[in-house]
Structure 1
Amino acid sequence: MSTGTAQAPRTGGDLVTESLTALGATTVFGLPGQHALAAFDALRRSPLEYVGLRVENNAGFAADAYARVTGGPAPLLVSTGPGALMTLAALQEAAAASAPVLGISSQIPTAGLGGGRHGYLHELTDQKASFRDIVKSVHTVRTASQIPSAIAEAWASALEAPHGPVWIEIPQDVLLAPTTAPPIESLAATPRPLTPRPELVTEAVRLLDSAERPAILAGGGTVRAGAQAELLALAEKLDAPVATTFGGKGAFPWDHRLSLQSWLEDRHTTDFLEDADVLLVVGSGLGELSSNYHTFRPRGRVIQIEADLGKLESNVPALGIHADARLTLAVLAEQATPRTRPEAAEAASALLVRVRQRLAAQDLKQEQQLLTAVRDALPDTSPSFWDMTMLAYWAWSAFDPREGAMHSAQGAGGLGYGFPAALGAAVADRTKPVLAVSGDGGAMYSIAELATARQYDLPVTWLIVDDGGYGILREYMTDAFGTATGTELARPDFVALAESFGVPAVRTSPERLGEDLAAALAAPGPSVVVLPAVLRLFAPTHATP
């Protein structure tokens, strides 16, 4: 009598994991649920690393950050109905930031799809309808043989410029059913390159060559396309000053002689960009924040390079070039005529002096000192992830990401992004510490993920700025209505709470922040630093009469 254990039959779930592996995936984020159990069982037999978070939305944020850091699709595996719907806010952020998240959910059995039997657990009348307005493409599988092609098609869709999240749903019975298909060895999913049209390149070169005061505004699309070297080459060839949007931080060296940095909410910067006789906008739709709340009125010609067709000329008339930022900047840098304009660097330097003078006229030393302390404590190559909190609003304008990268939730603007996103980045690269920054209100969205940080021993330091409520909303409401409503919060002892998860924590002060944060970042594994402080924003600026 044999004492061996019979090998489990391969199922539709195995086709999912084999397809992901064949496409190059190494990690899957998610949270199991009843209809998806066959896919999770297949994960056990696969070479894929599974990282489970405690809330599906946080798993989506972790996948978003993993995709941003690696540049490749990040699989996100969840269950039907409530599990799937919990990912929507994270997918909205991924869509706004063009992060290629590969969402995969189970579905009710095929007998219930399309108006069949009703009464299944987690059943939605039309689950995929909830995702169509958010993701780039939706793919529904009805048989096991469709799984590899559907996943490959979704993978290519996620990677085509502009990158973005996609959604695949697979019925429970398809995931459970044994399959006789041979193991998957390879899959092709090559995205189509988005190259610029030659006549548009020729016209853009003509405009740039004839410009007397050219300037460049680089958005998040520049970073996502990996076009930093091409941007630098073109800016130096044209001797054109460069500003970066909040999402485009890191696209251009912060202390370069041509850098205007990221002070887009400062009217001095808006005036400078408006005064350019040719403004090259790369990877930005010139939305609310990048246009200083739609007060930006360019007086010269605008050239806009944008991979998202819906954003092309959507806010400002321009020579619109629907193309990948890196491919287009490379050809512009090759064809543009070199020039020397010493006044360009002088103008950039003078602008930054005016910005600093305006800040110096306000009583904001503590806020600037805190941001400096964070910058000094964070290793140059470490990424940081910022929630929608007061210190992040400062960081959008004033933080130099150096060789690391600064990521925030300003694309969609939801709370709870910072800490789970930092966990996803740490999974992608465990060799360097990662910083997460939240307010006490936003931190409460992610407290459960302290267990995830401890379980996987991830090198993430979480800075929680505790001001007793939703600080930015408190300031907005007080300014608008004279008083704030619904902004004050009871909250836990964050230090004791972190320690209850087995995560070291310390309560710091503005004077000790740099020292305590540096020590936490240098220690292995996760840590929490709590800073009780009430911060203020710098005063907004308006268009000059």
Structure 2
Amino acid sequence: MTHDHDLVLRPTAAQTQAALNPPPGRTGGDLVVETLAGLGATTVFGLPGQHALGMFDALRRSDLAYVGLRVENNAGFAADAYGRVTGEAAPLLLSTGPGALTSLAALQEAAAASAPVLAISSQVPRAGLGGGRHGYLHELPDQQASFRGVVKSVHTVRTPSQIPSAIAGAWESALTAPHGPVWVEIPQDVLLAATDLPVVTAVDAAPHDLPPRPELTAVAADLLARAERPAIIAGGGVVRADASGKLRQLAERLDAPVVTTFGGKGAFPWNHPLSLQSWLEDRHTTDFLEDADVLLVVGSGLGELSSNYHTFAPRGRVIQIEADLGKLESNHSALGIHADARLALSALLETLTEKRQDATAAERVRTVLGLVRERIDAQDLALEQRVLAAVREALPDRSPSFWDMTILAYWAWSAFDARRPNTMHSAQGAGGLGYAFPAAIGAAVADPTQPVLAVSGDGGALYSIAELATARQHDLNVTWLIVDDGGYGILREYMTDTFGQATATELTRPDYVALAESFGVPGVRTTADTLADDLAKALAAPGPSVVVLPALLRMFAPTHLG
């Protein structure tokens, strides 16, 4: 009897001949780039450094496209966006010590947002590891320790022969649900070592599926079938699993209203009769969700933002589908189903074959949205709504947008219609500044056919100015909208509201239009009245551009306190 696992693929005569006669002049760095190509990578991001030069020299002998950014953290943000847009693991090549550590904030965002980033870092030579010879440039006592609490998995290499398996294992980890960043480190002398190992060709590192347990989906289906007031919260896991179509089918079968989290923007059609949109920072929405007798949470951990700052207290049964085991029932007791969102929704659809009828569902949704609108209209926020509407008008439906931690982004989380899944991304996972523009660069590399929008405040923009050179060097179709309010606007509001005055929030900043033009990037200063036209023209023009909007925007009043 022959079992599948007993079958061995034998090399052809040509393959054997090629393996026995590898080309001369190869190093451990070649094994890195050969393995990446064998896994299906086509593009790598990064920034060279002394210990990593073996990898970068090998790029010269490969077909991989290299996109070099000016700061390692920005290279990490670009890789993060490339992974979000493509669903592929994005290789990020880094040097030892300071170069590696500078990427940490980007890797934290990738971890929080479940973005598949494959970071490969150099390390000091083997003689300096494990308490050996000290005093190497860039040396850390335990470089891995700086990353273990951030990335999904850590993989070590100590000989050239370990390189293909270590990178393949990291690739598989990055792409197994939940996606996330992974870390591989390779000593300098291993990267530079000559090798006569065969050229790495196709590498098998298929990610594992994460199906739901059938007894749990049976219970979940029964609860939903018998529910009188079901509701659904759809998070980023729905987008990452490409499950928005399944979500819509289930919502319509159940006549269940749907709220998308800030990370799940676009997972459900904004103007669908069952869409409660994304007004999670609104007590009317929170009250509605608390009133559900069965609440289905898909691909969300119900963290701080998704729970209206932990004020959400559901009274009915909660069913939570979550690929990240650490987020399963971490904030609320539930029927926890550890599974990929697409596989779990498919299982529910197979079980829930009859359509539930609720003629009041769409009317209840309209009532809640009406109350939200009344609350916003009662505040003097016409400028903010006009600016956000201008952005939506100018941005093509298929174009991705990337938002920094700035007041306009906070508005967009709640009020922006993403129109399509996987087109609106922000740094709300970890909440660091400087995400938008380098992330937009990564998205423009992933799909050069679509213009990409980045939105920053003037404070966050200062983190990323160097990448104007990257955008110009690669002639990328990225438009950067900078809302200039003279400082850290959201912190100014927080401090003024809390302490009566703000401290350390005001900034001296450059003339962003002149600065952009000094990089050879067209810039324009706009107003709220001309923003839609100026932004549309910039997005339509090939190559990078900058649009600066001087404006003091305000947040809508919080409603999580009462």
**Counterpart mapping for 1:315-326 below 5 A:** 315-326=331-342
Provide the residue aligned with 1:39 in structure 2.
55
CA distance in 2, matches of 1:114, 1:224: 39
Provide the residue aligned with 2:101 in structure 1.
85
After superposition, the C-alpha distances for 1:255-295 in whole angstroms (9 at most, x for unaligned) are 11110000000000000000000000001111000000010
Q: Which amino acid aligns with 1:91?
A: L
CA distance in 2, matches of 1:381, 1:350: 30
Which runs of 5 or more residues in structure 1 are unaligned?
1-6
**Counterpart mapping for 1:246-265 below 5 A:** 246-265=262-281
Verify: 1:399 aligned to 2:416, yes or no: yes
Any idea what SS the aligned residue of 1:106 has? strand
Contact 2:233/2:298 (CA < 8 Å) preserved in 1?
Answer: yes
CA distance in 2, matches of 1:196, 1:521: 42
Q: Alignment partner for residue 115 of structure 1, among 131, 142, 149?
A: 131
Verify: 1:156 aligned to 2:133, yes or no: no
Q: Alignment partner for residue 430 of structure 2, among 404, 407, 412?
A: 412
Provide the residue aligned with 2:397 in structure 1.
380
Contact 2:257/2:274 (CA < 8 Å) preserved in 1?
Answer: yes
Provide the residue aligned with 1:188 in structure 2.
204
Q: Alignment partner for residue 501 of structure 1, among 498, 510, 519?
A: 519
Provide the residue aligned with 1:233 in structure 2.
249
**Counterpart mapping for 1:204-219 below 5 A:** 204-219=220-235
- TM superposition shift of 1:192: 1.3
Verify: 1:471 aligned to 2:480, yes or no: no
Any idea what SS the aligned residue of 1:151 has? helix
Please say which of residues 183-192 and 518-527 is displaced more in the overlay.
183-192
Q: Which amino acid aligns with 1:397?
A: S
Q: Which amino acid aligns with 1:360?
A: D
Q: Alignment partner for residue 470 of structure 2, among 452, 477, 483?
A: 452
Provide the residue aligned with 1:349 in structure 2.
366
CA distance in 2, matches of 1:400, 1:151: 38
Q: Which amino acid aligns with 1:371?
A: L
After superposition, the C-alpha distances for 1:479-511 in whole angstroms (9 at most, x for unaligned) are 000000000000000000000000000000111
- TM superposition shift of 1:62: 0.1
Any idea what SS the aligned residue of 1:247 has? helix
Any idea what SS the aligned residue of 1:292 has? coil
CA distance in 1, matches of 2:561, 2:451: 41
Any idea what SS the aligned residue of 1:261 has? coil
CA distance in 2, matches of 1:453, 1:255: 35
The count of residues paired between Structure 1 and Structure 2 equals 538
Any idea what SS the aligned residue of 1:436 has? strand
Which runs of 5 or more residues in structure 2 are unaligned?
1-22
Q: Which amino acid aligns with 1:415?
A: L
Provide the residue aligned with 1:515 in structure 2.
533
Q: Alignment partner for residue 306 of structure 2, among 282, 290, 296?
A: 290
Following TM superposition, where does structure 1 have runs of at least 4 consecutive aligned residues deviating by more than 2 angstroms?
Answer: none
After superposition, the C-alpha distances for 1:37-69 in whole angstroms (9 at most, x for unaligned) are 010000011010000000000000000000000
Q: Alignment partner for residue 436 of structure 1, among 425, 442, 454?
A: 454
**Counterpart mapping for 1:298-377 below 5 A:** 298-336=314-352, 337-377=354-394
Q: Which amino acid aligns with 1:359?
A: I
- TM superposition shift of 1:232: 0.7
- TM normalised by structure 2 equals 0.95
Any idea what SS the aligned residue of 1:293 has? coil
- TM superposition shift of 1:543: 5.4
Q: Which amino acid aligns with 1:412?
A: A
Q: Which amino acid aligns with 2:82?
A: Y
Q: Alignment partner for residue 243 of structure 1, among 238, 259, 264?
A: 259
After superposition, the C-alpha distances for 1:160-185 in whole angstroms (9 at most, x for unaligned) are 11000000000000000110111111
- TM normalised by structure 1 equals 0.98
After superposition, the C-alpha distances for 1:224-280 in whole angstroms (9 at most, x for unaligned) are 111111101100111100000000101101111110000000000000000000000
Provide the residue aligned with 1:4 in structure 2.
none
Provide the residue aligned with 2:157 in structure 1.
141
Verify: 1:527 aligned to 2:556, yes or no: no
Provide the residue aligned with 1:75 in structure 2.
91
Q: Alignment partner for residue 175 of structure 1, among 168, 183, 191?
A: 191
Contact 2:74/2:438 (CA < 8 Å) preserved in 1?
Answer: yes
- TM superposition shift of 1:334: 1.7
Contact 2:309/2:560 (CA < 8 Å) preserved in 1?
Answer: no
CA distance in 1, matches of 2:125, 2:190: 8
Contact 2:46/2:93 (CA < 8 Å) preserved in 1?
Answer: yes
CA distance in 2, matches of 1:436, 1:241: 31
Q: Which amino acid aligns with 1:516?
A: D
Provide the residue aligned with 1:60 in structure 2.
76
Contact 2:24/2:196 (CA < 8 Å) preserved in 1?
Answer: no
CA distance in 2, matches of 1:401, 1:435: 12
- TM superposition shift of 1:186: 1.3
Q: What percent of counterpart residues are identical?
A: 77
Q: Which amino acid aligns with 1:483?
A: Q
After superposition, the C-alpha distances for 1:434-460 in whole angstroms (9 at most, x for unaligned) are 000000000000000000000000000
Please say which of residues 347-356 and 101-110 is displaced more in the overlay.
347-356
CA distance in 1, matches of 2:251, 2:60: 50
- TM superposition shift of 1:342: 1.6
Any idea what SS the aligned residue of 1:421 has? helix
Any idea what SS the aligned residue of 2:262 has? coil
Provide the residue aligned with 1:389 in structure 2.
406
CA distance in 2, matches of 1:29, 1:61: 10
CA distance in 2, matches of 1:361, 1:189: 55
After superposition, the C-alpha distances for 1:458-480 in whole angstroms (9 at most, x for unaligned) are 00000000000000000000000
- TM superposition shift of 1:8: 5.8
CA distance in 2, matches of 1:366, 1:161: 41
Any idea what SS the aligned residue of 2:92 has? strand
CA distance in 1, matches of 2:377, 2:50: 58
Please say which of residues 361-370 and 404-413 is displaced more in the overlay.
404-413
Provide the residue aligned with 2:66 in structure 1.
50
Any idea what SS the aligned residue of 2:263 has? coil
- TM superposition shift of 1:542: 3.3
